[in-house]
Structure 1
Amino acid sequence: MTDRGTQDVEDVGAQQPRRRWSIVGPGIVVAATGVGAGDLVATLVAGAEFGYALLWAVVLGVVVKIALAEATGRWHLATGSTIFAGWRSLGPWTTVYFVVYVVIWGFVYGATAMTSSALPLAALFGGSIPAWGIPCGLLGLALVWFGSYRLFERIMTVLVGVMFVVVVGLAILVLPDVPAMLAGLLPKLPSGSGVYTLGLVGGVGGTITMAAYGYWVNAKGWRDSSWMRIMRLDNRVAYITTGIFVAAMLVVGAELLHTANIALVDSDRGLLDLDAVLAERFGPVIATLFLVGFFATSFSSLLGVWQGVSLLVTDFVRTRREAVARTPDELAAAGQLSDDATRSLPYRAYLLWLTFPPMVLLFLGRPFALVVAYGALGAFFMPFLAITLLWLLGGRRTPREWRNGWLSTTLLVGAALLFLVLCATELVDLFA
Structure 2
Amino acid sequence: MKNFFRNLGPGILVSAAFIGPGTVTVCSLAGVNFGYSLLWALLISVFACIILQEMSARLGLISGKGLSDCIREEIRIPFVRAFTLILIFSAIVIGNAAYEAGNITGAVLGLEAVLPSVNFEFGNFDLNIWSLVIGLLAFILLFLGSYKKLEKVFIALVLLMSIAFILTAFLTRPDISSVFEGFIPGSFDAGLLTIIALVGTTVVPYNLFLHASLVSEKWKGKKYLGTVRKELVFSIILGGLVSMAIVICAAASNITQIEDAGDLAAGLEPLFGNSATIFLAIGLLAAGITSSITAPLAAAYVVQGCLGWKGGMQSGKFKMVWIIILILGVLFSSLGIKPVEIIQFAQIANGLVLPIIAIFLFWIVNQKSVLGKYRNSLFQNIIGFLVIALAVFLGAKSIFSVIQNL
| TM-score normalised by length of structure 2 | 0.86
Return the letter of the residue paired with 2:42. V
Change in CA separation of 1:255 and 1:294 when aligned onto 2, cut-off 3 Å: same
Shift of 1:316: 2.6
**Is the contact made by 2:165 and 2:283 (CA closer than 8 Å) also made in structure 1?**
yes
Deviation (angstroms), 1:310: 1.7
Correspondence list, 1:117-132, <5 A:
117-127=107-117, 128=119, 130-132=128-130
Please say if 1:54 is aligned against 2:38: yes
State the partner residue of 2:257: 264
Question: Could you give the per-residue CA deviations for residues 94-146 of structure 1, whole angstroms, max 9, x where no partner exists?
Answer: 21113323443343333332222212212321124621001111110111011
In the superposition, relative to structure 1, how do residues 429 and 123 fare at CA in structure 2: closer, same or farther (>3 Å)? Answer: farther
CA change 1:352–1:202 in 2 (3 A) is: closer
Match of 1:204 in 2: 202
Change (3 A) 1:134 1:298: same
Offset of residue 313 of structure 1: 2.0
Counterpart mapping for 1:338-349 below 5 A: 340-349=311-320
- Counterpart CA distance in 1 for 2:291 and 2:67 is 21
- The alignment partner of 1:98 has SS state of helix
Distance 1:397 1:28, change over 3 A: same
Structure 1, 118-127 or 231-240: larger mean CA deviation: 118-127
Task: Give the distance between the partners of 2:203 and 2:10, measured in 1 at CA.
Answer: 13
The alignment partner of 1:44 has SS state of helix
Could you report, residue by residue, the CA deviation over 1:343-389 in whole angstroms, capped at 9, with x for unpaired residues?
Answer: 2122111122112244433444469xx99997886455311221012
- Does residue 1:95 correspond to 2:85, yes or no? yes
Task: Report the counterpart of residue 164 of structure 2 in structure 1.
Answer: 166
* Match in the other structure for 1:9: none
Residues of 1 paired with 2:386 and 2:86: CA distance?
A: 26
Q: 1:238 aligns with which of 228, 235, 239?
A: 235
Q: How many matched pairs? A: 387
**5+ unaligned residues in a row in structure 2: which ranges?**
76-80, 120-126
Q: CA deviation at 1:59?
A: 1.4
1:250 to 247, 251, 258: 247
Question: Does the 8 A contact of 1:167 with 1:290 survive in 2?
Answer: yes
Q: In structure 2, what is the Cα distance between the partners aligned to 1:30 and 1:167?
A: 18
1:153 corresponds in structure 2 to 151
State the match for 2:287 in structure 1. 297
Instruction: Give the letter aligned to residue 358 of structure 2.
Output: A
Residue 406 of structure 1: CA displacement? 2.8
Q: Which AA in structure 2 matches 1:81?
A: K
Question: Relative to 1, partners in 2 of residues 1:58 and 1:106: Cα closer, same or farther, differing over 3 Å?
Answer: closer
Distance 1:49 1:110 in 2: 26
Once residues 277 and 345 of structure 2 are traced to their aligned partners in structure 1, the CA distance between those partners, rounded to angstroms, is 36
RMSD across aligned positions (CA): 2.8
Q: Does residue 283 of the first structure (1) align with residue 280 of the second (2)?
A: no
| Structure 1 residue aligned with 2:69 | 85
**Which AA in structure 1 matches 2:314?**
R
**Bigger Rg, which one:** 1
CA distance in structure 2 between the aligned counterparts of 1:375 and 1:188, rounded to whole angstroms:
21
Residue pair 1:317, 1:346 contacting (<8 A) in 2 also = no
Superposed CA deviations along residues 376-404 of structure 1, whole A, max 9, x for unmatched, are 86455311221012211223323442111
Q: Does 1:107 align with 2:97?
A: yes
Q: Is the 8 A contact 2:107 2:289 kept in 1?
A: yes
Separation in structure 2 between the aligned mates of residue 38 and residue 375 of structure 1, nearest angstrom: 7
Residues 1:310 and 1:198: Cα distance change in structure 2 (over 3 Å): same
Change (3 A) 1:316 1:345: farther
Q: Which runs of 4+ in 1 moved over 6 A?
A: 370-377
Which piece of structure 1 moves more, 60-69 or 288-297? 288-297
Gaps of 5+ in 1: 1-16, 320-336
Residues 337-376 of structure 1: pairs in structure 2 closer than 5 A: 340-365=311-336
Contact 2:113 2:277 survives alignment (8 Å): no
**202-211 vs 165-174, which moves further:** 202-211
Partner of 2:58: 74
Distance 1:423 1:112 in 2: 22
Distance 1:362 1:255 in 2: 29
Distance 1:358-1:344 versus aligned 2 partners, 3 A rule: same
TM-score, length basis structure 1: 0.81
Query: Hey, what does 2:10 align to over in structure 1?
Result: 26
1:117 touches 1:299 (CA, 8 Å); kept in 2? Answer: yes
* Contact persistence 2:138–2:293 (CA under 8 A): yes
* Structure 1 Cα separation of the partners of residues 131 and 298 of structure 2: 20
Counterpart of 1:384, as a letter, is I
**What is the DSSP-based 3-state SS (H/G/I as helix, E as strand, rest coil) of the residue aligned with 1:92?**
helix
Equivalent residue for 1:421? 393
